[in-house]
Amino acid sequence: MKLFDIIKSASSNLWRNKGRTVLTVIAIFIGAFTISLTTGVNNGVNDYIDRQINGVGGEDQLMVFPESQMRSGSDEPQKYDPDKASGADADYLTAKDLDKIKDTKGITKVEPFHFLATDYVQRNDGEKYLLSAVSVSDISIDLEAGREVSNSGENYEINIAPEYMKALGFKNAKSALNKKINVSISSQATGEQEIVEATIVGVRNVSLIQQGQSIMSKALSDKIVSVNEKGMPENMKNKYGTLFATMDKNLSDKQIDQLKERLTKNGFSAMTVEDEIGMIRQVINAITGVLTLFGAIALLAASFGIINTLYMSVQDRTREIGLMKAMGMGRFKVFLTFSVEALLIGFWGGVTGIAGAIVAGHFLNDFAMTSFLDGLTGLTLLQFSWPSMLIILVVIMLIAFLAGTFPANRAARLDPIDALRYE
């Protein structure tokens, strides 16, 4: 008997007792459905977190702060050290610090990160609103509509935060594209105010990390900084609260820790974006891990159903097995026949469970975006990938095969004479 004939025979024998087989497939379906849904949630949330990280700095970037901003790792206040700088100067980094960080082994590029001081933003002659903005960097900005602001050129462009859509009179993100807004800037020394016209080229998705912050093009950022510093003494210019340092590509966790230690010895504090929000990822992974465990328990229970189904099948077909062996079918082929039945149970349960999860995920995503996730643009709660779904199906079929080995082995070991006499 060829393999195709064995599969065909196993498929027809499987449905001799439809009720028993369907109940076993349903048990597999429940486990596959649960695991597929939790995997989809894990993929969706982690994809959103990854885009949030890229919108702040990405995997290859370090945020570098003055030493005065370092945390001691406890809730106790740090003691005053007269040998270390204190006061306002200690809270900022200078051009000398920028060069010093750039010369550190493992750093390829350093640029300042400006928190831009603006008075207000206004559209036409409408209401004036406070504006929180930062300068563009080598980051990937997660946008609901439009394009990223330019990191070169002379155009005053802005990726505006979604919180301003309704306030500035826009119906949606697309209606805001290419519209002009006025940004008011003042000198921090003289108070002299200047109005700059900027073009909205993109609207950000809601950000959990930089909530309410808009992104300015380099030209607009430079303009704001120049107005802010107008009239200031030279020794008060070009000071930064944070620097973005780009690391060498593909550094290991150990190498990143060593780089942080080198910066610490030079009087700086450094952290990756993953350090800042890594706990969120751990919590999400822990929750989905527990839910996946429930699915695994359902599959374990279903494996006993497979064993029971096939044991009953062996008992019902004892004389048939004896006849097949008497006609020359070897132990291995008998074993293979029942193992294929187990695989088919796993296959149908897995396929229907995964398909059910994908269909349910479509409706759950729609429901989430109109209810408890309303306003959290950019987050697709459940995301399914074919590689992960294929892995789930293969694992389920493997579990089914292992469960089927017990009754299959019993069928293979039956004595053909005793089997033919079986009543």
pLDDT digit string, tens, across residues 402-416: 988 888 888 888 777
Query: Above 50 in pLDDT, residue 126?
Result: yes
Q: Which of 80-89, 177-186, 240-249 has the lowest mean pLDDT?
A: 80-89
Residue-wise pLDDT tens digits, 262-308: 988 888 888 887 776 666 777 777 888 888 888 888 888 888 888 88
User: What's residue 361's pLDDT?
Assistant: 92
User: What's residue 408's pLDDT?
Assistant: 85
Query: Above 50 in pLDDT, residue 72?
Result: no
Mean pLDDT confidence for 123-145: 83
Q: Which residue has better confidence, 226 or 421?
A: 226
User: What's residue 348's pLDDT?
Assistant: 93
Residue 153 neighbours by CB distance under 10 Å: 11
User: What's residue 152's pLDDT?
Assistant: 83
User: What's residue 86's pLDDT?
Assistant: 47
**What band does 210 get if pLDDT is binned at 50, 70 and 90?**
low
User: What's residue 211's pLDDT?
Assistant: 64
User: Which amino acid is it at 110?
Assistant: V
Q: Which residue has better confidence, 48 or 26?
A: 26
Residue-wise pLDDT tens digits, 77-90: 555 555 554 444 55
User: What's residue 417's pLDDT?
Assistant: 73
User: What's residue 315's pLDDT?
Assistant: 78
Query: Above 70 in pLDDT, residue 237?
Result: yes
Residue-wise pLDDT tens digits, 95-118: 888 888 888 888 888 888 777 889
Mean pLDDT confidence for 42-47: 84
User: What's residue 87's pLDDT?
Assistant: 46
Mean pLDDT of the residues in the chain: 82
Percent above pLDDT 90 for the chain: 27
Query: Above 60 in pLDDT, residue 188?
Result: yes
Residue-wise pLDDT tens digits, 361-399: 999 998 888 887 776 666 788 999 999 999 999 999 999
Query: Above 70 in pLDDT, residue 57?
Result: no
Mean pLDDT confidence for 325-334: 80
User: What's residue 139's pLDDT?
Assistant: 63
Query: Above 90 in pLDDT, residue 160?
Result: yes
Q: Which residue has better confidence, 66 or 274?
A: 66
Instruction: Give the containing element (helix H, strand E) for 189.
Output: none
User: What's residue 77's pLDDT?
Assistant: 55
Query: Above 60 in pLDDT, residue 56?
Result: no
User: What's residue 391's pLDDT?
Assistant: 93
Where in the chain are the domains? 3-53+279-421, 61-272
Mean pLDDT confidence for 307-314: 83
User: What's residue 147's pLDDT?
Assistant: 92
